Amino acid sequence: LKIALLPGDGIGPEVMDQAVKVVNAVAERFGHKITYQEAKVGAAAIDATGLPYPDETHQVCLDADAILFGAIGDPKYDNDPKAKVRPEQGLLLMRKKLGLFSNVRPTFTFPSLLHKSPLKQERIEGTDLVFLRELTGGIYFGEPRGRNEQGTVAFDSCVYSVEEIERLARMGFEFSQKRRKLLTCVDKANVLATSRLWRETVQRLAPEYPDVKVEYEFVDAVAMRLVQWPKAYDVLITENLFGDILTDEASVISGSMGLMPSASLGTENKLFEPIHGSYPQAAGKNIANPLAMVLSAAMMFEYAFGLKEEAQVVSDAVNASLEEGVATEDIAEEGRSYSTSAVGDWLA
Amino acid sequence: LKIALLPGDGIGPEVMDQAVKVVNAVAERFGHKITYQEAKVGAAAIDATGLPYPDETHQVCLDADAILFGAIGDPKYDNDPKAKVRPEQGLLLMRKKLGLFSNVRPTFTFPSLLHKSPLKQERIEGTDLVFLRELTGGIYFGEPRGRNEQGTVAFDSCVYSVEEIERLARMGFEFSQKRRKLLTCVDKANVLATSRLWRETVQRLAPEYPDVKVEYEFVDAVAMRLVQWPKAYDVLITENLFGDILTDEASVISGSMGLMPSASLGTENKLFEPIHGSYPQAAGKNIANPLAMVLSAAMMFEYAFGLKEEAQVVSDAVNASLEEGVATEDIAEEGRSYSTSAVGDWLA
Ligand SMILES: CC(C)[C@H](C(=O)O)[C@@H](O)C(=O)O
Ligand SMILES: CC(C)[C@H](C(=O)O)[C@@H](O)C(=O)O
């Protein structure tokens, strides 16, 4: 099994190290042979090569059976709206060039961490939902985008084709069939032409999946209900920008951003990444929570290699660490926190 | 004082009746002469005239000193993506033709309702933030929008000019100066060209308001922090679609959608509306919560007429009703709920 390692920026490298320890431990136990190739992306790549997603990195990704990715972003680029090259472009290029059209973001709770959530326990206990966020279309990539000549007007374009919507929607129906058989299509069909095409396409496909109940909800309503009663949802499908906002909102349910993994799936390539960002304030301090990255590796075993048992032992280890209180400061009990690498060692 | 009444659809008419009772009571106590003119908008207008925002209605709005608006929307239009005329178009036309470029949406908590919030009390107690959502630009109105000839590709355009951003941003700075002097500019400048123009424009204006601290945050981060720690915010400015999503999300903090008012302000015209929708399941049942509509009337006294004391007595009455438990079923204690009209009578 060939894994590409793209640690990226900020805390990316530190949390990646822990994922690698865990993957190695699993490989040893189950007798898999794993080889790694590391490559740069984001600010790390800009600093080294001038480009946020260099060709060498792309080649490493193409050659791999799965890609583990850490995080991207550096504050020195954020408040400079005129910066020509930005780390995030690396992430967007990577998604686009690897055809990673579906970002799978589960949200669930850990019994031992329910009290950490800003939401009341009875509202979130048992939450088990998964977003499928379209990842290579919409306003993230639509043309034209830019400014008029005088620089006084800016514009972006949101564009979706039926094919783009259909492949994501079909994945949503299939996920639902393996779960609680409820699919929620999240859009803004009362305002946007693209949303109406989403809704129409999902309506057209629905009869092919008669066992799945389909609901249509506006994005603003979902932004509310997600906090009010997240248990109402099973599988949610949505376009790129709505998915960006709602999945980050949903991550709060579990009590910490540092916990939620994700998979970005394409026809050929599969990438796994924590949903948290590069958290630059914590970089190099050995305090960042590695669990989202480790759980992303668990998703890799399942979604890229079809190795469910391997995925399960990783999740079990994470649960055990939480129950034992082997946790970084963001989720540890007062005065009992472990370092990033100590958590990684324990899990491995 | 001439007030245009646009009850709209669903529970709109019922909650509007309560606001009128309260406005009349205030007028009597303070010796104001108020005249009303009623007009149709939304599904109600389509049913009567075929148009969601007829010219007569527009004229009534232009003639008034302030507009009270209920709600818009009817489920019979929602799941028909091909419907030619939709109630929501009435709302969008109204905003555009009246130049209501800034939607002011406060979020605060009521001490007696803290326990109703899905969020833990210590997280929300004392929350006092206000969103200024740009309301007449962005992807809601940008051209081109529609489909290609074959109908296989749909597109929307997000467009912003410096002038549109600047007038909203200046209002944000001015609000901040009268409050806690913290302004948060919410955008997605790491992806969108329009967001970069927003950020640039706000950065250019900031030196004119040296007493205001300005922060820049990505929309996905705000979607999280709003639930994690809403007290961190004072005034937030954002574009139309982000504002739609985030203000609805924020409304959950107070424990009920039925509580939050809003003002839509333009240079010439001023409209006041609850942020909740038409809630068709409750229409005609005399159970809908009228408080958001009544508090919108309070905002009208302050923002349209400059009558702060009048606004205050309305807010005081609402607080008193909550403390006395005179409340509709959505927020009442078990087995002690009042009807919509009973709450209106009590307040008046
Ligand atoms: C960094 C940014 C471009 C990215 C996005 O908006 O997709 C991030 O927020 C994410 O969700 O992975
Ligand atoms: C009904 C809809 C068009 C509207 C909007 O998206 O602006 C509503 O959600 C609102 O926030 O007032």
Check whether B105 is labelled as a binding-site residue: yes
Amino acid at B345: D
The predicted structure's pLDDT at residue B79: 65
Average pLDDT value for chain A: 95
SS3 B39: coil
Place of tokens 């130049």: B99
Ligand nearest to the CA of B220: 1
Query: Can you spell out the DSSP letters for A86-153?
Result: -HHHHHHHHHHHTT--EEEEEEE--GGGGGGSSB-HHHHTT-EEEEEEE-SSGGGT-SS-EE-TTS-E
> In whole angstroms, what is the distance from residue A237 CA to residue A133 CA?
6
Mean pLDDT of A121-136: 96
CATH 3.40.718.10 boundaries in chain A: 1-101+261-348, 118-254
CATH topology of domain A1-101+261-348: Isopropylmalate Dehydrogenase (3.40.718)
Mean pLDDT of B247-254: 93
pTM for this predicted structure: 0.95
Query: Can you spell out the DSSP letters for A259-319?
Result: G-EEEEE-SS-EEEEESS---GGGTTSS-S--HHHHHHHHHHHHHTT--HHHHHHHHHHHH
Question: Which tokens is B55 given?
Answer: 């010219």
Least confident of A39-43, A108-112, A214-218, B129-133: A108-112
Q: Tens of pLDDT along A16-49?
A: 999 999 999 999 999 999 999 999 999 999 999 9
Q: Which residues of A are less than 8 Å from B220 in CB distance?
A: 244-245, 248-249
> In whole angstroms, what is the distance from residue A176 CA to residue A154 CA?
39
Average pLDDT value for chain B: 95
Q: Tens of pLDDT along A176-208?
A: 999 999 999 999 998 999 999 999 999 999 999
> In whole angstroms, what is the distance from residue A4 CA to residue A213 CA?
38
Q: Tens of pLDDT along B136-156?
A: 999 999 999 999 999 999 999
Cβ atoms < 10 Å from Cβ of A122 = 10
> In whole angstroms, what is the distance from residue A278 CA to residue A77 CA?
13
Judged against a pLDDT cut of 90, whether residue B254 lies above it is answered with no
> In whole angstroms, what is the distance from residue A104 CA to residue A237 CA?
10
Nearest CA to A78 out of B229, B138, B187 is that of B187
Q: Note which residues in 310-339 of chain A have CB less than 8 A from chain B.
A: none
- Hey, CA dihedral for A75, A79, A84, A90, is it positive or negative? positive
Judged against a pLDDT cut of 90, whether residue A76 lies above it is answered with no
CATH topology of domain B1-99+258-348: Isopropylmalate Dehydrogenase (3.40.718)
CATH 3.40.718.10 boundaries in chain B: 1-99+258-348, 118-254
Ligand nearest to the CA of B245: 2
> In whole angstroms, what is the distance from residue B53 CA to residue B44 CA?
10
Note whether A157 contacts B162, CB cutoff 8 Å: no
Q: Note which residues in 240-269 of chain A have CB less than 8 A from chain B.
A: 241-242, 244-246, 248-249, 251-252, 257
Nearest atom in ligand 1 to the alpha carbon of residue B188 is 6
> In whole angstroms, what is the distance from residue B71 CA to residue B80 CA?
20
CATH topology of domain B118-254: Isopropylmalate Dehydrogenase (3.40.718)
